[in-house]
């Protein structure tokens, strides 16, 4: 039975497809409940990283305590803002596990999208009460009634009294707050029982150490409590507990049903991972909370300093990022072409891009990154099984008995007009059709099994361009499958550039080899001598292009005494040179290493 205190609490999150207005709604809720004054508000309050604001995405989970008054008095609404991207699915699931309910935001012009469904099913798995909300009804193309019906048909949620809102202009926000209080159940849990608190996010603060965002399920936690992390088995003494307003506000204690943070002089997020359970060291709970799993990298890529003297700075940057990101892994590796660097593991492509951008931006290190690779399983003829994360390390074909590659279950939602185009794309990407269902007469959900390798190989961009941006995608790892794979090498000026090697399906090797050679011809600028570009499998060359030697300057003018302009042009040229990596005698632009993904 919930206590009177618990009856006043609602813990909820907002789930939505990207760009359906999740962060904007969160902003309005904060504003409406007076949690921040108008002056303190800035767009997307909960997205604190510059990157999040720029990309309009949420990377880290955040939380805020809202105080809402109605005729029954004061309610405490803990809003947990979750990441919206498939790369961070596990983080989403932990955030959901910290809540009793979820607001499902659906764009009144777009309807249900792949991530709407994926997150919705995730919420249902956690037994959350879902409150549908139709957003963007101020837009002329809004069709709220159709969308309501779609939600009822597809997800089976009653939408008869779903609030129709516009988070952007602040319409209907009160209805949302009312619905949260009325529909979402309050938390329960024995405040006197042994402590069990779920960590739904952790980040490293240089002053406080690791700050863990928690939902107390049972018991009470306060300053001085001797705690134990049930997975990492480490013990600490709590130095501070508090709530989010949305900045940190220390409180005396957090009890069953509360959402807040805890610090305990923990030095590394690895010791307080998302999903771990905090209990008391002296009176431990019998069982941890269910659902813990460590984050496992799905894709790997090499990160190298553009200037080799930045190696140590890069190492330090990765270490610092890792303090905050338990999913990021890295270990040193050496490339003949790129020198000393690191093989890094990521949850997915977005995670990878974010880390790369943060290294360049926050740590100001110019880096070269190689094309991402999935983890291949290779069974050798002697029976040994190895996991391959770097194509360069692929054993010679004679040592390989067979290879397996990771496969995902992909669901794609698109207007029915584009079914043909999507199917064609999935075919090209070696997809296996599973089934297809109509969400409404004009919209379809397709299920495919597709190799992850193809997903990271420009799948999303192709999907978007072939469906004029209407298709949405969600996927999850489904296991491994045997495949005919070969290593495709690229030679510049006769030498193999290891950082450009890729594992490709045998049937696509020729086509891809040609495409990469052509692409590199476009990207590699002309130099003093002619540069042959070759694609090869083993010793067999399958494609060849040539970058012609540079013959003359394109800018030579320097008359009338305008030396400054000439210097500026030269400086631009020099800047361009700096973004090049010297490989043997050839200067290769950094983007060449990623561009091999963007062919076809």
Partner 1 sequence: MRGLYIHIPFCKSKCYYCDFNSIIDNAIQDEYIKALIQEIELYKEIKFDTIFIGGGTPTILSINNLKKLLLTIKNFYPKEFTIECNPGTLSQEKLKLLKEFGINRLSIGLQSIDNNILKSIGRIHTFEEFLQNYYWARQLGFKNINIDIMYNLPNQSAKEFMNGLQTVLELKPEHISCYSLIIEEETKFWELYNQNKLNLLDEDEERYIYKKINQLLNKYGYYQYEISNYAKEGYECKHNIIYWTDEEYIGVGAGAHSYFDNKRFNNTADVREYIKNINCTKTARENIEQIDEATHISEYIILGLRMNKGISVLEFKNKFKIDINDIFKKEIDKLLLEGLIEKKGENIRLTEKGRDLSNLVFVNFLK
**Binding residues for partner 1 (CB under 8 A):** 528, 550-564, 566-567, 569-571, 573-574, 577
Write a three-state SS string for 238-306: CCEEEEECCCEEEECEEECCCEEEEECCCCCHHHHCCCCEEEECCCCCCCCCCCCCCCCCCEEEEEEEC
Q: What is the 3-state secondary structure (H, E, C) of 524-578?
A: CCCCCCCEEEEEEECCEEEEEEEECCCCCCCCCCCCCCCHHHHHHHHHHHHHHHH
Instruction: Pick between residue 286 and residue 574 the one whose CB is nearest to partner 1.
Output: 574
Which residue, 140 or 561, has its beta carbon nearer to partner 1?
Answer: 561
Minimum separation from the CB atom of position 545 to partner 1 (A)? 18
Of 226 and 577, CB closest to partner 1: 577
Per the CB < 8 A criterion, the answer to whether 296 and 477 are in contact is no
CA atoms of 95 and 206, how far apart (whole Å): 24
Q: How far is the CB of 570 from partner 1 (least distance, A)?
A: 5
Give the shortest CB-525-to-partner 1 separation in angstroms. Answer: 11
Residue whose CB is less far from partner 1, 185 or 589:
589
Helix crossing, 173-183 with 22-32: angle to 10°?
Answer: 90
CB of 236 to partner 1, least distance (A): 54
Which residue's CB is nearer to partner 1, number 286 or number 552? 552
In whole angstroms, the minimum distance from the beta carbon of 557 to partner 1 comes to 6
- Comparison of 410 and 580: residue with beta carbon closer to partner 1: 580
Minimum CB distance to partner 1 smaller for 494 or for 561: 561
Give the relative orientation of helices 114-125 and 89-97 as an angle to the nearest 10 degrees. Answer: 40
What is the CA 153 to chain-centroid distance, rounded? 29
CB 577 → partner 1: shortest distance, Å? 7
State the nearest-atom distance from the C-beta of 579 to partner 1, in Å: 13
Work out the end-to-end distance of the chain between its first and last CA atoms, rounded to an integer number of angstroms.
60
| Enclosing H/E stretch for 580 | strand 580-583
Nearest distance from residue 555's CB to partner 1, in Å?
Answer: 6
Closest distance between partner 1 and the C-beta of residue 550, in Å?
6
- Kindly tell me which of 157 and 569 has the beta carbon lying closer to partner 1: 569
Cβ of 380: how many Cβ atoms within 10 Å? 13
Cα separation, 414 vs 76, whole angstroms: 39
Say which residues have a Cβ less than 8 Å from residue 167's Cβ, sequence separation at least 6: 21, 24, 25, 27, 28, 105, 135, 136, 173
Residue closer to partner 1, measured from CB, 169 or 555: 555
């Amino acid at each position: 039975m919930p206590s009177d205190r618990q009856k006043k609490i609602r813990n909820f999150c907002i789930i939505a497809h990207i760009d359906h207005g999740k962060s904007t709604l969160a902003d309005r809720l904060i504003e409406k409940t007076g949690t921040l004054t108008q002056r303190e508000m800035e767009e997307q309050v909960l997205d604190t990283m510059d990157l999040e604001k720029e990309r309009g995405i949420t990377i880290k989970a955040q939380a805020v305590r809202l105080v809402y008054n109605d005729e029954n008095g004061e309610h405490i609404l803990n809003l947990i803002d979750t990441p919206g991207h498939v790369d961070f699915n596990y983080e989403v699931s932990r955030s959901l596990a910290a809540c009793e309910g979820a607001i499902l935001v659906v764009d009144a012009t777009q309807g249900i999208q792949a991530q709407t469904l994926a997150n919705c099913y995730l919420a249902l798995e956690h037994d959350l009460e879902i409150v549908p909300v139709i957003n963007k009804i101020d837009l002329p193309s809004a069709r709220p009634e159709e969308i309501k019906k779609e939600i009822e048909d597809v997800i089976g949620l009653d939408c008869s009294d779903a609030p129709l809102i516009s988070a952007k202009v602040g319409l209907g926000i009160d209805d949302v707050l009312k619905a949260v209080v009325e529909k979402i159940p309050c938390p329960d849990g024995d405040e006197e029982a042994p402590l069990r608190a779920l960590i739904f996010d952790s980040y490293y603060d240089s002053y406080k150490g690791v700050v863990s965002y928690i939902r107390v399920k049972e018991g009470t936690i306060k300053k001085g409590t001797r705690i134990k992390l049930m997975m990492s088995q480490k013990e600490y003494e709590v130095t501070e507990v508090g709530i989010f307003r949305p900045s940190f506000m220390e409180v005396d204690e957090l009890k069953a049903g509360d959402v807040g943070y805890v610090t305990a002089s923990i030095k590394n997020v690895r010791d307080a991972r998302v999903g771990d359970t905090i209990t008391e060291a002296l009176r431990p709970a019998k069982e941890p909370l269910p659902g813990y799993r460590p984050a496992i990298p799905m894709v790997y890529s090499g990160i190298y300093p553009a200037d080799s003297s930045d190696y140590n700075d890069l190492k330090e940057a990765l270490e610092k990022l890792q303090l905050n990101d338990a999913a990021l892994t890295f270990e040193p590796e050496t490339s003949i072409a790129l020198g000393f660097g690191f093989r890094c593991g990521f949850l997915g492509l977005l995670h990878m891009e974010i880390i790369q951008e943060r290294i360049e931006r926050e740590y100001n290190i110019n880096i070269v990154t190689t094309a991402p690779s999935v983890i291949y399983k290779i069974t050798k003829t002697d029976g040994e099984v190895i996991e391959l994360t770097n194509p360069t390390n692929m054993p010679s074909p004679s040592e390989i008995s067979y290879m397996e590659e990771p496969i995902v279950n992909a669901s794609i939602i698109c207007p029915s007009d584009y079914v043909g185009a999507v199917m064609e794309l999935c075919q090209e990407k070696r997809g296996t059709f599973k089934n297809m269902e109509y969400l409404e007469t004009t919209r379809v959900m397709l299920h495919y099994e597709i190799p992850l390798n193809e997903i990271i190989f420009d799948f999303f961009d192709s999907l978007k361009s072939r469906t004029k941006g209407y298709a949405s995608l969600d996927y999850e790892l489904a296991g491994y499958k045997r495949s005919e794979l070969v290593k495709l090498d690229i030679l510049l000026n006769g030498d193999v550039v290891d950082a450009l090697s890729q594992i490709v399906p045998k049937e696509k090797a020729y086509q891809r080899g040609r495409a990469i050679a052509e692409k590199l011809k476009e990207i590699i600028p002309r130099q003093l001598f002619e540069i042959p570009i070759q694609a090869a499998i083993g010793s067999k060359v399958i494609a060849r292009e040539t970058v012609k030697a540079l013959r003359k300057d394109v800018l030579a003018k320097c008359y009338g005494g305008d030396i400054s302009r000439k210097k500026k042009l030269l400086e631009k040229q020099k800047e361009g040179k700096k973004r090049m990596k010297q490989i043997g005698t050839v200067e290769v632009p950094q983007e060449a290493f990623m561009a091999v993904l963007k062919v076809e």
